[in-house]
Amino acid sequence: MTLDSRRTEGVHPDHPDLDRLEVSELVRVLAGDQAGALRAVGAAVPALARAVEAALPRLTQGGRLVYVGAGTSGRLGVLDATELTPTFSWPRERAVPLIAGGARAIREAVEGAEDDHALGGRDVQAIGICDTDVLIAIAASGTTPYVLGAVEEGRRARALTVGLANNADTPLLRAVDCPVLLDTGEEVISGSTRLKAGTAQKIALNTFSSAVMVRLGKVYGNLMVDVRTSNAKLEGRAVRLVRHATGAGEAEAQRALADAAGNVKVAIVTLLLGIPATEAITRLAAHGGHARAALEAE
């Protein structure tokens, strides 16, 4: 008998003796079930594309990506927000993660925080949410009060609201401008949405934010040209990216990067057009930071 209509809370019908399996079979079952996450995200591609298209005009105007969630969903939001800066040089202040219970909840459960509808609204209000922002609300259940309170406040401020949930026809998906259903169904370990529900959320967040960054000019071809060179590994990566994009030798690429203060995109435009770094910077600025547009402009 199903006591909860949400599929993520249901009991998986295929593995009633999970605790009796040999280790190799147990691992095979757990790993194999993750394929459901890929199928769920694949079905959500049209919804994710609509969310990206809706987000771009706001972000072009200087808006922020605001992530809201509780528990596993909140931690995945924190992760996606955090990785945008080193990967795409996205300004840290324009990727704002909010998790029920605050920073302490990243490492431990904060009892009752996810059930506090008013707290979600207050947390969003405290960051000064506005109509150029994009609020990404994440909740496997689709019913988390903290997340619903945050969405309510985001909509009041006319921010764009995107919702990721793993159950259909839930309050979260009904409340947002851009609903994204990740229908992963029952978990192998019943109710443990850190499994394939969480995996689907991670893939969907990666897909959404990466697509946004590509369209905002953070990528040239399929090269990560806005990477921030903050350590030796990334400095080596920057040299390889410049060489791949331009055909330059290592010494030439290093010189161009030095002239560009480590900016891969500037170094590429400098080398491909044979212009000084200062002119490459001006040219990129005139084309919204898009390397291809800067290179192809008359």
Is the pLDDT at 3 greater than 60? The verdict is no
Q: Mean pLDDT, to the nearest integer, of 147-158? A: 98
Query: Which pLDDT does position 111 carry in this prediction?
Result: 75
Rounded-to-integer distance, Cα 115 and Cα 9, Å: 17
Q: What pTM did the predictor assign? A: 0.92
Interval 223-244: pLDDT, tens: 999 987 778 888 899 999 999 9
Interval 153-208: pLDDT, tens: 999 999 999 999 999 999 999 999 999 999 998 888 887 888 999 999 999 999 99
Please answer whether residues 110 and 75 qualify as being in contact, where contact means their C-beta atoms are separated by less than 8 angstroms: no
H or E element, residue 109: none
Query: Which pLDDT does position 298 carry in this prediction?
Result: 61
Q: For this structure, is 114 an active site residue?
A: yes
More confident call, 110 vs 67: 67
Query: Which pLDDT does position 9 carry in this prediction?
Result: 66
Q: For this structure, is 111 an active site residue?
A: no
Q: 22, 108, 114, 153: which one is catalytic?
A: 114
Query: Which pLDDT does position 157 carry in this prediction?
Result: 98
Q: 9, 25, 83, 296: which one is catalytic?
A: 83
CATH level 2 (architecture), domain 7-215:
3-Layer(aba) Sandwich (3.40)
User: Where do the CATH 3.40.50.10490 domains begin and end in the chain?
Assistant: 7-215
Of the listed ranges 64-68, 113-117, 198-202, the one predicted with least confidence: 113-117
Is the pLDDT at 110 greater than 70? The verdict is yes
Residues in a beta bridge with 134: 65, 160
Rounded-to-integer distance, Cα 192 and Cα 78, Å: 20
State percent of the chain over pLDDT 70.
97
Tell me which fold the domain 232-296 belongs to.
Answer: Helicase, Ruva Protein; domain 3 (1.10.8)
Distances (CA, A) of 147 to 19, 140, 143: 34, 11, 8
